[in-house]
Amino acid sequence: MTGPSAPGERLRGAAWTFCTAARTEQRGMRGNPLLLVNAGFLPVVLLVIAVETQRPSPSRATEIVTSVMLTALWGSTVWTSGGVLRRERTYGTLARCVCGVESPTVVLFGKSLGATLYGVGTILAATVVTVLALRLPVALAHPLWLLVGLVVVVVSATTLGALLSCLFLLTRNGLVWSGALMYPVFVLGGLLIPQDFLPVWLRWVPQLLSLRWINEFLSAAAGRGPTATPLVVAVVLTAAYGVLARHTYRWSIDKARQRGSLDHA
C-alpha cells in the first residue's frame, strides 16, 4: 500500500501485534512456578523479615514496602521477562517470532510487557494482603504521583526485561546467568540495603539501576512529596535500556540467522 493511509495501517498493524504478543505471553505465564515464587512468595517473605524486629513509622513502612516490591519485581523480571526469548527458542518458535511481517522488536517488547504486567499484578496483590495482615501504617500522601510512579515501573521493568532477554539469548547458559544476576542486585541495587551502607567503591552500582531511582521517587511521593530528579533519571535509564535492547536484539538475531540456529535450543 502506497496511499496516504499506509502509515496508519502500519501503525495499527504494529499495535495489534504488540497487544497480541502481550496477551499471548500473559496466557503463558499462568501457572508459571517461577512467577509464583518471585512475585507471589518473595514479597511476603521479605516484608515479614523486614518488619519482624521493628514497628516502623508510616514513612519508614512505606520505604520498606516499596523496596520489597521493587526487589521482587527484579526477581520476576530476571526469571520471566528476561526469559521470553529463551523460552521461544526452547519451544522452537523463535524463528516465527522474528520472521513475521511486523518488526520482531515489537513482538519482543509486547511479550516483555505481558510478562511484566502479570508479575506486577501478582506482586501488588501479595503485598497488599501482607500489609493488611501485618497492619503496617503505610503512608499514601500523593496517590496521583504514586500512580505515575507505577506506570514508570511497568515501562522500565518491561524495557529492562527485554534487554535481559536479548542478553540471555546470546548464551546457552541463560539459567546460570539469571541466578548470577538476581542476588547481587538484591545486595547492591540500593533497594533493601541503602546505598550508603555499601562500600564506597561499590556505590556506583545502584546508580545504573532504574528501579533504585523509582524506589526513591515512590518513597518520597508517598510521604513528604515527590522530587523530579529520581523520576527523570529513571526515565533516562529506561530509554537507554530500550535503545540497547533494540540494538542487541537485532545483532543477536542476525548472528543466529547467519549460524542457522534460530530454532536450536
Within-domain flag for 7 = no
CB 110, CB 25: distance < 8 Å: yes
> Which DSSP category does 260 fall into?
T
Distance (Å, rounded) from C-alpha 104 to C-alpha 119?
A: 23
Q: For the chain, which residues score pLDDT lower than 70?
A: 1-6, 53-54, 98-102, 174, 256-265
Within-domain flag for 4 = no
> Which distant-in-sequence residues (6+ apart) come within 8 Å of 203 by Cβ?
195, 196
- Helix ranges restricted to H, 135-196: 143-169, 174-188
Range of the domain at 65: 12-259
Share of the chain above pLDDT 90, in %: 34
Q: Which three cell numbers stand for residue 201?
A: 567503591
CB 124, CB 196: distance < 8 Å: no
Within-domain flag for 264 = no
The residue behind cell 507471589 is 40
Within-domain flag for 2 = no
pLDDT of residue 264: 47
pLDDT of residue 51: 83
pLDDT of residue 265: 46
CB 125, CB 39: distance < 8 Å: no
pLDDT of residue 257: 67
Share of the chain above pLDDT 70, in %: 90
Q: How many domains does the chain have?
A: 1
Distance (Å, rounded) from C-alpha 104 to C-alpha 147?
A: 30
Distance (Å, rounded) from C-alpha 185 to C-alpha 93?
A: 31
pLDDT of residue 256: 67
pLDDT of residue 101: 63
Tell whether the torsion through CA atoms of 263, 167, 238 and 77 is positive or negative.
Answer: positive
Within-domain flag for 6 = no
